[in-house]
Amino acid sequence: MRVPAHSVCTAIRDDIVAGVHERGSRLAEEVLARRYGVSRVPVREALRTLEAEGFVVTRRHAGACVAEPTEQEAADLLEVRTLLEPLAAARAAQRRTDAHLKVLRGLVRLGQERARNGRGEDLRPLGGWFHETLAQASGNPGLSALLIQLRHKAAWMYVVDSPAAPADSWAEHAAIVDAVARRDAERARALTAAHAARATAAYRPRHAGRPGRGRVRDSQHAVNTVSLQN
């Protein structure tokens, strides 16, 4: 059974974002193949994809290594994201489906409920799902994929402080959804731009210590092979 490279790619990317593979550490194909229980072929393909995404670099005499982004590269990434998210919201207002709207409203209700109940630890993944769904509602697969990739990279490059007033953040999400529901593209764009600008203030660059060569912590991400068995 051949495991698709995209499944291996997702597992390695998740582990890079989580810090399992530390910045600057070597990504040896044979080690990764053993770790994820696959052959070296999908690992090699996955590393090429991750290099194109900016998570991996190829170094002379070392091979594939986890990239070490600079603070300027991290700042540039946030700038791009804050420019693209309002565009995605405007497109979502024009192209969203009833199914997208149902999911967005459900996420807002859940986020507001958890914010009221003080369950702040549950809000960050909900916020990620909200913005990913909003991007998908844009009807532009390329834009959606790019924004999802940027969110992964931001999680890798930054520590994000919990919002001081999470209820306010979810009220902003609710207002964006209302604009999307009314198909008011300009209001959706303006609200998302303001929300993104405020959220950016919570991002602090993640400074990783200098890793040892090939240092890897235990992985929490297995390769998903469920779909291959159906």
Contacts of residue 51, Cβ cutoff 8 Å, sequence gap at least 6: 57, 58, 64
- Tell me: do 51 and 162 sit in the same domain: no
- Tell me: do 27 and 124 sit in the same domain: no
**Which CATH number covers residue 24?**
1.10.10.10
* Res 62: pLDDT: 86
Range scoring the smallest mean pLDDT among 5-14, 72-81, 203-212:
203-212
Sign of CA dihedral 97, 102, 105, 110: negative
* Res 162: pLDDT: 73
* pLDDT digit string, tens, across residues 172-207: 999 999 999 999 999 999 999 999 999 888 888 887
- Tell me: do 16 and 127 sit in the same domain: no
Quote the mean pLDDT of the chain. 87
Total domains, the chain: 2
Task: Please report which confidence band the pLDDT of residue 161 belongs to, taking 50, 70 and 90 as the band edges.
Answer: confident
Cα separation, 151 vs 169, whole angstroms: 17
* Res 6: pLDDT: 83
pLDDT cut 70: percent of the chain above it: 86
- Tell me: do 126 and 188 sit in the same domain: yes
* Res 121: pLDDT: 66
Domain with 181 in it? 71-205
- pTM assigned to the model: 0.79
- Tell me: do 90 and 49 sit in the same domain: no
- Per the document, the length of the chain is 230
* pLDDT digit string, tens, across residues 215-229: 444 544 555 433 333
Judged against a pLDDT cut of 50, whether residue 211 lies above it is answered with no
* pLDDT digit string, tens, across residues 3-15: 567 899 999 999 9
* Res 79: pLDDT: 95
Compute how many other C-beta atoms are within 10 angstroms of the C-beta atom of residue 66.
25
* Res 3: pLDDT: 59
* Res 222: pLDDT: 52
Judged against a pLDDT cut of 50, whether residue 83 lies above it is answered with yes
Task: Please report which confidence band the pLDDT of residue 209 belongs to, taking 50, 70 and 90 as the band edges.
Answer: very low
Cα separation, 100 vs 7, whole angstroms: 25
- Tell me: do 175 and 106 sit in the same domain: yes
**Which CATH number covers residue 84?**
1.20.120.530
- Tell me: do 142 and 197 sit in the same domain: yes
- Tell me: do 30 and 98 sit in the same domain: no
- Tell me: do 34 and 139 sit in the same domain: no
- Tell me: do 52 and 119 sit in the same domain: no
- Tell me: do 212 and 195 sit in the same domain: no
- Tell me: do 131 and 221 sit in the same domain: no
* Res 5: pLDDT: 73
Judged against a pLDDT cut of 90, whether residue 134 lies above it is answered with yes
